Amino acid sequence: MAAPEAERIGGSPACLCVLCGLPAAGKSTLACRILRSVTEYGWRATVVSYDELIPGDAFRCRVLQDGVQMQDMHTEWKSHRQTVLQCIEAFLERPETLAEFPGISLINKAAWERCTQALLQPEGLTSVEAPLLLLLDDNFYYSSMRYEVFQLSRKYSLGFCQVYLECDLESCISRNQSRSQPVPTEVILEMVKRLECPNPQKNSWEMQSISLNTTNDVPKCDIQRVMELICSALSNPPSPAQDNTEQKEADRLKCATSVVHQADQACRRLISHAMKTARENQLPSEHMKSLAAQLNECKAAFLQNLRTHFLQDAPFIEGEDINVEHVVEKAVEVFDGDKKEILLRFMEDHKCV
């Protein structure tokens, strides 16, 4: 099949294909089948396996009494994941050399060299202008993780597409347990709660996406669907984004203001309820004043931290609507816990008097 028309990197069109889904959903198996099909198209292809590139220590997470801290684990991975994308970008710019920058020590260099050699010296191919296909194999359970790949593809006008592997939880857990180094079952269960599947209806940048049921063997017709998706992505690379930094910052500020305002209203209601509980338990008036002061002080600090976190740390994806109500609900749960602790301390102190 002829190579699709597309923008070229180093003389070759290229596509970044994200394979996402739960651990043991079948991503690596699918990647191998795609590689076998690629030879019929005359492409150069490789699998960028995050499991192989990122050291095992980076995937360790701390299990606390309230369960697995997925956010801690996600933060732990972030610098490693960024390095993988930096290596991909450096290769696209200078395919003849290994990426050389301080951060490369965060990944397995030998594994990365194997990835690049598969593209530089493809078996049976003589054309150095054959399309490049990079299959990114990882869970990519947050849309923000996938969006980082899209940003890279848009920067260089590379093809971009996503294949989401749907596999029932029991099958994933069973397959995972048979591995030599299984992922803790608690991590998989928590990931299910946080998994953000590709949603083309909500996010325009996810239009080039398909879902495959991988609970059982994937039929040949589904492999063909994947190849057609990749061809379409190669033929329709996203255009480089215009610099709209000011508008994005304005949108983020507007959203943050809405989140903080709604959180403030919810916190006020919680404080009012706490004061009512204190009165019903006959807390002395002087203690009531101290309680109100501490609750309001706690609320002010909480809202300031919420605003700072939302403006600086929270993922803000272009073209994706933020569910403000959901963000507020989750944030206020934190304040509610602090409120209960303060109220309980005052009540216990009163009983001791």
Q: Where are the domains of the chain?
A: 8-235, 245-352
Residue 133 pairs in a beta bridge with 15, 45
pLDDT score for 126: 45
State the sign of the Cα–Cα–Cα–Cα dihedral 209, 214, 215, 219: positive
Summarize the confidence of residues 330-343 as an average pLDDT: 88
Residue 132, SS3 per DSSP: strand
Name the token pair of 57: 């220590």
Q: Residue 260: how many CB atoms within 10 A of its CB?
A: 19
- Of 186, 182, 183, 193, residue with least CA distance to 65: 186
State the sign of the Cα–Cα–Cα–Cα dihedral 282, 285, 290, 293: positive
Summarize the confidence of residues 284-311 as an average pLDDT: 86
Confidence of residue 194 (pLDDT cuts 50, 70, 90): confident
The model's pLDDT over 200-253, given as tens digits with 9 standing for 90+, comes to 988 889 999 999 999 999 999 999 999 999 999 999 999 886 555 666 666 667
Confidence of residue 61 (pLDDT cuts 50, 70, 90): very low
Which amino acid makes up residue 153?
S
Task: Please spell the DSSP secondary structure of 146-187, one letter per residue.
Answer: HHHHHHHHHHTT-EEEEEEEE--HHHHHHHHHTSSSPPPHHH
pLDDT score for 10: 55
Confidence of residue 71 (pLDDT cuts 50, 70, 90): very low
Taken as a whole, the chain contains a residue count of: 353
Determine the topology of domain 8-235 in CATH: Rossmann fold (3.40.50)
C-beta of residue 61 within 8 angstroms of C-beta of residue 68 = yes
pLDDT score for 174: 94
Looking at per-residue pLDDT, the higher value among 349 and 212 belongs to: 212
Residue 206 pairs in a beta bridge with none
Looking at per-residue pLDDT, the higher value among 43 and 94 belongs to: 43
Q: Residue 9: how many CB atoms within 10 A of its CB?
A: 17
pLDDT score for 120: 74
In the chain the first and final C-alpha atoms are separated, in Å, by 85
pLDDT score for 321: 56
Summarize the confidence of residues 68-85 as an average pLDDT: 65
Confidence of residue 329 (pLDDT cuts 50, 70, 90): confident
C-beta of residue 338 within 8 angstroms of C-beta of residue 302 = yes
Q: What is the pLDDT of the chain when averaged over all its residues?
A: 81
pLDDT score for 57: 61
pLDDT score for 245: 62
State the sign of the Cα–Cα–Cα–Cα dihedral 107, 108, 113, 118: negative
Which amino acid makes up residue 144?
S
Confidence of residue 273 (pLDDT cuts 50, 70, 90): very high
Name the token pair of 204: 């325009």
Summarize the confidence of residues 42-70 as an average pLDDT: 67
pLDDT score for 304: 86
The model's pLDDT over 127-176, given as tens digits with 9 standing for 90+, comes to 557 788 999 999 998 888 899 999 999 999 999 999 999 999 999 999 99
Looking at per-residue pLDDT, the higher value among 236 and 123 belongs to: 236
Residue 316 has pLDDT above 90, yes or no: no
Q: Give percent of the chain with pLDDT exceeding 70.
A: 77
Summarize the confidence of residues 27-55 as an average pLDDT: 89
C-beta of residue 267 within 8 angstroms of C-beta of residue 299 = yes
Among the residues of the chain, which ranges form H helices?
27-38, 50-53, 70-93, 109-120, 143-155, 169-177, 185-194, 220-235, 245-280, 285-312, 324-352
Looking at per-residue pLDDT, the higher value among 157 and 308 belongs to: 157
The answer for residues whose C-beta is within 8 angstroms of residue 282's C-beta and 6 or more apart is none
Looking at per-residue pLDDT, the higher value among 248 and 92 belongs to: 92
Highest mean pLDDT among 4-18, 115-129, 334-348: 334-348
Q: Residue 256: how many CB atoms within 10 A of its CB?
A: 22
